[in-house]
Every structure is written in C-alpha cells, then in structure tokens.
Amino acid sequence: MKNKVFENIEFFFKKPITAVIIGIFGLSLLALPYLYFENNSPLLLTVGRLHPILLHFPIVLLVLLLVIEVLSLFPSVSISMGFRFYLFIFAVFCTLLSILSGYFLYSSGEYEGLLMDQHFNGAVFTGFFFIASFVLFCVNWSAGKYLYLILVFAANAFALYTAHQGGSITHGRNYLSTYLPAIGQPKLVKADSSQFLYEDVVQLILDAKCGSCHNTLRSEGNLSLVTYADLFKKGDSGKMPVTVAQSLESEIIRRVMLPDTADDHMPTQGKKNLEPDEIEIIKLWIDLGAKENQAIQSLENKRVIELADGLSSSFSKYKFKARLRQLTKQKLDQELKEIAEDIEMVIKLDDDGEYYTLSNRFPPAPFDGEKLEKLKPYLDVFTKMSLVSTQIDDSDLYLISHMPNLTELYLQKTAINGDGIVLLSSLPKLKTLNISYTKTSDKDLIDLLKFPSLREVFVYSTNTSNEVVKAIGAHKNSLKIYSEEGPYF
C-alpha cells in the first residue's frame, strides 16, 4: 500500500501538465515584489514572525541538494533517485513556506528600505530558480541536464546573496563579510607606557559594547559614540552622554547602571552588558576630567592603573575589533573613490569626518539615474548630496529616499517636476531641501508637511505661489520656505 502511494506521488509530479502548472507558479513568484497588500491579519502577521525560524530549513536543503548533484557527477557515487526526488519535494515546500512567511512579514510594514527590498527580491529569484530546476528534474529531460545543474547553482547563489542581505538587516551592513578585511593583517600592539585612558581604554569599551548601535552608519537615538567629540553631542534624549567631572550626572553612566529590565537600560536586551570594572573605569575617567589625551601612567590614581591592567585581556579582543572597523573604513574609502571616478562626481568626507558628501565636479559631467544606481550599496553613508544641473528626475527620488542619514539635498536645475517630492518624506534626518529652478507646483509643496525633520526649503523660480508658501509656514512653524535661490553645495 505504501509503495502504491509513493508511485502515485511520483506519477503525479512527473506528468507534463503538473510540470507546466508548477512552472507557471514559479514564474508567478517573480510578481510578488510588485504585489502589495496591507497585512492586518493577526494570523498572517504571526506566520510572518516565524520567518526567521523557517528560513534555515530551505538554506540547508538547497546546499544539500547541490552537494548531492555534484557528487552524482562522479561514476563511483550512487545516490537513489527516489531519495533525491522526495528531498527535492520537501526542499521546494520549505522554500515556498519561507518565501510566503517572508512576504507576510514584508507586507506588515515593520521592515522597509533598500536592504529589505534586495533581501526579498533575492528570495523570490531563489524560489524561481529552484522551482525551475525541480520541473526539469521531474520531467527527467536528459537534454537539459546541464541547464538543470546551472539552475541549481543559480538557486544556491541567490540563496547566499539573500542570506547576506538578511544578515545585514538583522546585524548591520555587510555582516557576513565583516571579518574579511582583517585576514592577513598584522596585529597592532602599543606599549603600556604610551597608553591613553580615553583612546586605549574608554573608547575601546564604548566601541565594543555600544558601537554596534551607535556608529557612523547606525546611530540609534541619533547618537554616535565613535569619536571623542560625539560624547559631548546631544542625541534624541536631549542629553549629552558625558558631563565632565560628573560621572553620576552623565547619561551614559546612568543608562548602563539601570536594571536590565528597564526600558532605558543600555546596551539593549540581547547584547552583552558592560562589566563592573568597565563601568568603574569610565566613571573614573569622567571624574578625572574626561580628557582626550591623558596618559595612564601619568595618573596618580592607582585604581585606574589597576583596572586597566585587569582589563588588558579584554582590551586585546576589543583592539582587534577596532582595527577591523578601521580596515572596513579604509576599504569603504577606496570603494567610494573608485565609484566617484566612475560616475564623474566628487565624494569626500563630511565636516564630522564620519559620513560622506556627494557633489558635482567643475565643470559638471552628465549625471542621471543610471549613475545614481551605482550608489545603491552605499546609500547609508551620505549626509549631503548636491545634484545641481544633473539629469535626475522624479523617478530617481525613490532611490534617494532610501538614504537614512541624508540631512541636506540640493536639486536645483534638475529635471524633477515635483511628483516624486513626497517620496523624500521617508528621510528621517533631512533638514535642508533646495528645489529652485524646477517645475515643482503648489500641490507638491503641500507634501512638505509630511517631512519629519525638514527645517528649510528653497523654491525660487518654481511653479509655486506665495499664498501656499505662507499657508504652509503658518501650519508648520518649524519649517521655513524661502522664495529665493538658496545655497549651493
């Protein structure tokens, strides 16, 4: 009886009509990124939340099938067709379940942005190539053997890409390739006599325990702790991390000393807390004046020296991670330098030396959406962008709207007509917008009310009226709209 059931299953999947139906279903997956619905179903949202668990099964099965197919190329290796067939069915089922749960999570609106789009698109192509290979496997098309292998390889390649983007969403940009720049690099060792309390102790601790959420590319609460100057800048809380000579009044100390269950406790749940000795040495540094260049050996405070010696084993690990970030930054600098040459634009560090700016060369070279696309992997590193007199139009504003750290945008004399202005309302930090000499109209200007952080807009020589400008100004006092040409960058 059992054999009869298996025979019926195999007969069903090997029928030409079944292959056609499965093939059409595989093609329909390619339409998923363009099908959006507002997911308010508690059941579907719960299924979506299962995606991080479900996704591991198809990845393992995809790799296993690839290994089996490679081994099958050797005459000495014999693997049952029946085993491969049922493994394939299970793998396809798990892949579709993972994609479907991911789609429900994607449609919930909880995750968005370029990385999310790339992750979802990668999953769709993984499913498409995998189903296509399954169809060829079922029909046992001998003439298509090599095409079948290519499709299996393609499915695994897209699965790897998708996993990389998923890791970047969860853990930060380039998560899977983080340690690659450090391979073969010499270790940096500094003699004890030259160690500074901030640079070699405090900064290392903050970098290791706080850096994943408060860095140049991801500044939770609008707070970065990368540089010494950052410690004296206010975040969204309105408080500076460090109050000189007053450790107990310093926000950074208050947060790390809160109970783990407190909402404001830092680091957040799931991340490793600062050790008691680490908190103590940061407090001592603050109470001693929070100086940037203060040699440890020159201090009369023996407790600082004792703590630094006791934490030395941890510091070696922290230094490795700090060195790794330095190498990653150097790699990013080189990549952006090459990109700048390719797209004929100027890319340089911004005033704080943490992020980057993009502007025209002089004389300006042609710059359109095709060149803008080449910046896709680096959208989160720019704070200022000047596209004056370029061929950028409204459709290109979608890509620009995925630049989370952009604070200033200059679009004078571009081809935009205003239809895409509303897309820029998703930029959380945009403060300055210059759209002078464009075809922006009154109806487009009203969309400025949706911008969360916008402070000044320049609309000289546009199709806007003074009445609408005044009305918007009266409705939103924090937003100033100037009927003048405005600054260039």
Q: What is the pLDDT of residues 374-428, one digit of tens each?
A: 898 888 889 999 999 999 999 999 999 999 889 999 999 999 999 999 999 999 9
Please count the residues of the chain: 489
Please tell me the pTM assigned to this model: 0.56
Amino acid at 129: F
Give residue 106's Cα distance to chain centre.
Answer: 15
Q: What is the largest CA-CA distance in the chain?
A: 87
Sheet with 356-360, side-by-side order of all strands? 345-349, 356-360, 382-386, 408-410, 432-434, 456-458, 480-482
- What tens digit of pLDDT does each residue of 417-460 get? 999 999 999 999 999 999 999 999 999 889 888 899 999 999 99
Integer angstrom CA distances of residue 241 from 148, 201, 469: 58, 17, 39
Bridge partners (DSSP) listed for residue 410: 386, 434
Average pLDDT, integer, range 102-109: 80
Integer angstrom CA distances of residue 52 from 49, 166, 245, 269: 7, 9, 45, 18
Give the least confident one: 209-223, 259-273, 280-294, 398-412.
209-223
Q: Which residue has the tokens 């940061």?
A: 282
Position 28 scores a pLDDT of 84
Half-sphere exposure of 125 (CA within 13 A, CB side): 17
Highest mean pLDDT among 216-220, 226-230, 370-374: 370-374
pLDDT band at residue 189 using 50, 70 and 90 as cut-offs = very low
Position 286 scores a pLDDT of 92
Distance CA 433, CA 407 (A): 9
Distance CA 262, CA 241 (A): 18
Distance CA 220, CA 236 (A): 9
Bridge partners (DSSP) listed for residue 482: 458
Q: Is the pLDDT of residue 316 over 80?
A: no
- What tens digit of pLDDT does each residue of 239-257 get? 898 999 999 999 999 998 9
- What tens digit of pLDDT does each residue of 322-377 get? 676 677 778 888 889 999 999 999 999 887 777 899 999 888 889 999 999 889 88
Helices marked H in 289-373 = 302-310, 312-343, 369-373
Q: Which residue has the higher pLDDT, 188 or 269?
A: 269
Bridge partners (DSSP) listed for residue 384: 357, 408
Position 215 scores a pLDDT of 67
- What tens digit of pLDDT does each residue of 122-141 get? 889 998 998 888 888 887 65
Average pLDDT, integer, range 60-70: 88
Distance CA 419, CA 436 (A): 15
Distance CA 410, CA 36 (A): 32
Half-sphere exposure of 200 (CA within 13 A, CB side): 24
Cβ(271)–Cβ(212) under 8 Å?
yes
- CATH node for 344-482: 3.80.10.10
Give residue 14's Cα distance to chain centre.
Answer: 43
Position 355 scores a pLDDT of 84
Q: Is the pLDDT of residue 191 over 50?
A: no
